Each structure stands twice: as C-alpha cells, then as structure tokens.
C-alpha cells in the first residue's frame, strides 16, 4: 500500500508547484486535501495490509500460514476495507489510494462471498444428487410436459390417419426419404434392419439428433413467454413421432420401429421432456409468482431450470453415442428394446429415487 501511494511531500509539491503556482489559496486547499488523504491512509493502513496479506495467502494456496484469528477476522476486515473505499470515493481522495482499495475489496469479496467449490467438487455434487434434486423440484412441470408430449403423439397419429397428406406437413423432408405413405413393408423394413454400414443411416441419425437437440434448447429458451412456446414445440415434435408410428403400424412394423427408436429414444425423448419441463417451470413461475416478486420467482426458477438443462445436455450426448453405436450394432428388435428399456429405468431411478445427500448444485432458491 505504501509503495502504491505517493508520499505526502510529493503530492503537495506536484499540486502546488504545478497547477496552483501563483494561487496561494488554492495551494493551501490542495495541501489540506493531501494531508486529509494521508491521515485517512495512515489511520487504516494496518488493517488494509493485514487483509491484503490474508487474501494473498489464500490466493496462493498457503492456507497453513493463515492463523485462526486471521480467518475469523477476514469478514470484518473486508467490510472495513469496503467502508474505507466508500469514504475515499465520497471525499475524492487520491487515485492511488482508490485504485488500491478497489483492487483489495474485489479480491477480498471473492474470498469471502465467492464460490467455494472447484469444478471437480461442483461436478461431484451435480452428479451425486444435485441434478436429481433439481429435476424432482420441477415434478409438476414434468407431468405437464409429459401430458403434452402424449397428446402431441396422439394428435399426429389422428391427423395422418384421417388424411395422409398431413404426413408431409408433420414429417420434415430429412426424415421422410423412403418413409412415406404408400411405401411397401419391404422398403420400410429395410430402413430398420440390415443396413448398419450404410452412410444414409448415419445421416438420418445425425439429422434426428440435431432436430431433437434444437427442440430441447428452444423449449427451454422460450419458457420465459409463460411456457406457451415450450408447450407448442413439444406438441409439434411429438406429432412427428405420432405420424411415424402410424406409418409403420400400417405395415405391421410398429414394434420394430419402437425398438429402433428405443435404443436412443428413451434417453433423447427423456431429455426433451426435461427441457420442456424446465421451460414450463420458468413460465409458470412468471405467471404465478406467489408471494415472491416476479423477478425473485423467475430468478429462483431459472437457477433450478439451468441445473436441469445442464443434465439435459449430458443426456443428449449419451443419446448421440447410443444412436451412433448401439443402434448400429444391435440388429434385432428384442435387443434394441432391452437397451432402451434399461436406459429408461436407469434415468428414472437415477433422477427420482437416488437421493445421495443434498448439494447446492440444485440451484433452488
């Protein structure tokens, strides 16, 4: 601190000898201001140096060199430094003192109020129960999203069964290719079996994953509009699923299609469900904030939903791996259903029944 601040004589001589030459009354005022700044610094410099020493030791990982008294004094020293900074600003003290105090209080704030956990500690808390706690915290919204997705699937089935032309409106061109109304059983069956080495299947898988990833992100991001866009996206996406189910059911291939989708679909659709529920959770908290203010309710919901979405990203990565490898390697419906069923049971058990402690990673407010 002493090195950062000019001495009293230097400040006085620079002000008096430079700007205020020939103006005795201004020189006296400058001298008084410099004297006031020096007195202010000297009265508090000991506490600033002690705080600086403690914070520096923490930043360098030298915790063993910090005494118990210093640890207990850290919050009080931070508040004293923050108070000194406020006074220095109000009294327009010299820039060197202001710069030093601003830097010191910022560093001390991080040590007093900043995050305590490392990345590894946060990840351990997130996977060790924080993610599941956040998911369980939005269970009403999960039920709403699930009902919406079931309704969307039914709507898609009913629309194409009443008029096959609806199929071309509901199913994107990248998904359609040979999968169109009127396709023979052999053609549709070929899209499900015996073509693991064909590039077309990989392209289709990549398109399907990209589409579902976009739906998940958008369903969450648009939740601020009271959740209505999230609901609409869920209906639109699952209506496509309903149309595909209707198409394959017409050729007696519904179980095979379900098995083909289940390998990655139980994970991917679960991720879409959670993303939609996270968006609905934010929208519902804004529409019905309760006793809290709108901003407080939205902020708490946003923190919880953000934790859920972090897990959604992880689930989408797992779904991509299953889609790229497991579904290509398993060429029978029974095996595919077994993998998909296992993943569904795993996600439900992990998120809703495993409760290993509690973590701040939930982001609940």
Place of tokens 């959770």: 281
What is the longest distance spanned by two Cα atoms in the chain? 103
Q: So what's the pLDDT on residue 205?
A: 57
- Is 357 a residue whose pLDDT tops 70? no
Q: So what's the pLDDT on residue 71?
A: 81
Band the pLDDT of 363: cuts 50, 70, 90: very low
- Is 175 a residue whose pLDDT tops 70? no
- Which DSSP letter does residue 65 get? G
Neighbours of 9 (CB within 10 A): 10
- Is 9 a residue whose pLDDT tops 50? no
- Is 214 a residue whose pLDDT tops 60? yes
Burial group, residue 350, by CB count within 10 angstroms (0-12, 13-18, 19+) = middle
* CA 282 – CA 301 distance, rounded (Å): 5
* CA 249 – CA 244 distance, rounded (Å): 8
Dihedral Cα 287, 288, 291, 295, nearest 10 deg: -30
pTM: 0.65
Band the pLDDT of 156: cuts 50, 70, 90: very high
The fraction of the chain above a pLDDT of 90, given in percent, is 30
Place of tokens 């032309």: 165
Distances (CA, A) of 33 to 29, 45, 142, 143, 195: 6, 18, 64, 67, 85
- Which DSSP letter does residue 7 get? P
Band the pLDDT of 209: cuts 50, 70, 90: low
* CA 254 – CA 242 distance, rounded (Å): 11
Q: What is the mean pLDDT of residues 106-121?
A: 74
Band the pLDDT of 243: cuts 50, 70, 90: very high
Residue 166, both tokens: 């609806």
Q: Return the H-helix or E-strand segment holding 103.
A: helix 95-113
Distances (CA, A) of 349 to 15, 72, 267, 342, 352: 73, 43, 13, 10, 6
Band the pLDDT of 246: cuts 50, 70, 90: very high
Q: What is the pLDDT of residues 61-104, one digit of tens each?
A: 777 778 888 888 888 888 888 888 888 887 767 788 888 888 88
Alpha helices, H only, 288-364: 294-321, 327-329, 333-348
Q: So what's the pLDDT on residue 42?
A: 80
Dihedral Cα 190, 196, 202, 205, nearest 10 deg: 60
Q: What is the mean pLDDT of residues 179-204?
A: 73
Q: Which residue has the higher pLDDT, 118 or 276?
A: 276
Find, among 59, 43, 46, the residue nearest to 112 by Cα: 59
- Is 292 a residue whose pLDDT tops 70? yes
Q: So what's the pLDDT on residue 89?
A: 81
Q: So what's the pLDDT on residue 335?
A: 92
Neighbours of 192 (CB within 10 A): 19
The average confidence (pLDDT) of the chain is 80
Dihedral Cα 177, 179, 183, 189, nearest 10 deg: 120
* CA 257 – CA 68 distance, rounded (Å): 66
Band the pLDDT of 115: cuts 50, 70, 90: low
- Is 321 a residue whose pLDDT tops 80? yes
């Amino acid at each position: 601190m002493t090195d950062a601040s000019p001495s009293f004589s230097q400040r006085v001589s620079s002000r008096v000898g430079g700007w205020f030459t020939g103006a005795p009354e201004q020189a006296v005022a400058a001298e008084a201001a410099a004297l006031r700044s020096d007195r202010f610094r000297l009265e508090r410099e000991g506490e600033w140096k002690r705080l600086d020493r403690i914070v520096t030791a923490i930043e360098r990982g030298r915790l063993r060199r910090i005494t118990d008294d210093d640890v207990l004094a850290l919050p009080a020293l931070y508040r004293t430094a923050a108070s000194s900074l406020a006074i220095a600003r109000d009294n327009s003290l010299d820039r060197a003192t202001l710069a030093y105090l601003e830097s010191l209080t910022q560093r001390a704030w991080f040590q007093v109020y900043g995050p305590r956990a490392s990345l590894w500690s946060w990840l351990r808390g997130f996977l060790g129960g924080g993610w599941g706690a956040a998911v369980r915290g939005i269970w009403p919204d999960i039920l709403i999203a699930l009902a919406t997705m079931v309704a969307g699937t039914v709507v898609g089935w009913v629309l194409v069964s009443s008029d096959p032309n609806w199929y071309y409106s509901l199913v994107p061109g990248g998904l359609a290719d040979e999968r169109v109304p009127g396709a023979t059983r052999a053609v549709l069956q070929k899209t499900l079996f015996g073509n693991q080495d064909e590039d077309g299947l990989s392209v289709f898988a990549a398109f399907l994953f990209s589409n579902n990833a976009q739906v998940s992100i958008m369903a969450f991001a648009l939740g601020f509009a009271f959740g209505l866009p999230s609901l609409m996206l869920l209906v639109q996406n699952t209506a496509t699923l309903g149309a595909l189910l209707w198409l394959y059911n017409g050729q007696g291939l519904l179980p095979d299609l379900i098995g083909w989708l289940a390998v990655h679909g139980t994970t991917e659709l679960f991720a879409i469900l959670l993303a939609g529920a996270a968006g609905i959770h934010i929208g519902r908290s804004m529409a019905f904030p309760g006793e809290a203010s709108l901003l407080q309710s939205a902020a708490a919901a946003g923190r919880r939903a953000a934790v859920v979405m972090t897990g959604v990203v992880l689930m989408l990565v797992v779904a991509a791996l299953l889609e790229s490898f497991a579904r290509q390697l398993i060429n029978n419906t029974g095996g595919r259903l077994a993998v998909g069923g296992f993943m569904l049971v795993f996600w439900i058990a992990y998120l809703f029944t495993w409760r290993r402690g509690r973590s701040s990673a939930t982001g609940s407010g």
